[in-house]
Chain A
């Protein structure tokens, strides 16, 4: 059974700090990874995708991928209360078809003012 694992949290950080969210995956064949943000009661929103080892930066967000360790992370710099949400990590079901994604259960982030 292919899996994507995340620490459920809650992760609490003060406003302005760096929030670090981590994810591991079991399928070595996975080539692309995604981070979604889900506010309470809302649907997930894609915020970052990463396909290559290393870092990818987009504004205050940085995604990091280490395929050898099967590890992907999301860093949020200068965290704001509006960043408080559940963050979902996702990877393709490489053994499946048509880009089906497997999602972790999410890490709940709370940014305290």
Chain B
């Protein structure tokens, strides 16, 4: 069966510090991978998606970046965090339309 792992579960970082969140999927090949952010009181916002190794599409311009160095690994990064980067970050995978996503357990990031 397929599983998705996301870590860390919680993170408190100072403004201006770097960020690296990692997500890995097991039990499937060539998944579509997604990074979403859920800010307090707001909906899920798609940040990045990837259909293959090294292929990254950005939905929202910001100070975050994503990389996919391996088929089942997806990394979200930032060189300098802003207060507005606080939120609940969710990684998800799918095999494409018309199937839904499976989400990881999420990382709650607080920038102080």
Number of B residues with CB within 8 Å of any CB on chain A: 24
- B56-112 contacts to A, CB under 8 A, are 57, 59, 90, 94, 96-106, 108
Number of A residues with CB within 8 Å of any CB on chain B: 25
* B98 partner, pick from A31, A42, A43, A106, beta carbons under 8 A: A31
Is the C-beta of A88 less than 8 angstroms from some C-beta in chain B?
A: yes
Which of A17-25, A58-66, A68-76, A92-100 has 4 or more CB atoms under 8 Å from chain B?
Answer: A92-100
* A92–B43 touching, CB < 8 Å: no
Expressed in whole angstroms, the Cα–Cα distance for A106 and B44 within the complex equals 9
Expressed in whole angstroms, the Cα–Cα distance for A104 and B94 within the complex equals 19
* B90–A98 touching, CB < 8 Å: no
* A43–B100 touching, CB < 8 Å: no
The tally of CB-CB contacts under 8 A between chains A and B is 58
Name the distance in Å between A31's Cβ and chain B's nearest Cβ.
Answer: 6
* A98–B49 touching, CB < 8 Å: yes
Interface residues of A: mostly helix, strand, loop or mixed? loop
B34, B51, B96, B97 pick with most chain A CB within 10 angstroms: B97
Expressed in whole angstroms, the Cα–Cα distance for A63 and B97 within the complex equals 19
* B42–A105 touching, CB < 8 Å: yes
Expressed in whole angstroms, the Cα–Cα distance for A92 and B99 within the complex equals 9
* A92–B98 touching, CB < 8 Å: yes
A106 and B43 contact, Cβ closer than 8 Å, known pairs A43-B106, A98-B51, A100-B49: yes
A43 and B103 contact, Cβ closer than 8 Å, known pairs A98-B49, A104-B43: yes
* B104 partner, pick from A43, A51, A99, A104, beta carbons under 8 A: A43
Closest to A101 in B: B101
Bitwise, A33-75 to B at CB < 8 A (1) or not (0) is 0101000011111100101000000000000000000000000
Expressed in whole angstroms, the Cα–Cα distance for A92 and B94 within the complex equals 12
12 contacts between A and B (CB under 8 A): A31-B98, A32-B97, A34-B100, A43-B103, A46-B101, A49-B98, A92-B97, A99-B98, A100-B34, A103-B44, A104-B43, A105-B43
Nearest 5 pairs of A and B residues by beta carbon: A32-B98, A105-B43, A99-B97, A103-B44, A43-B103
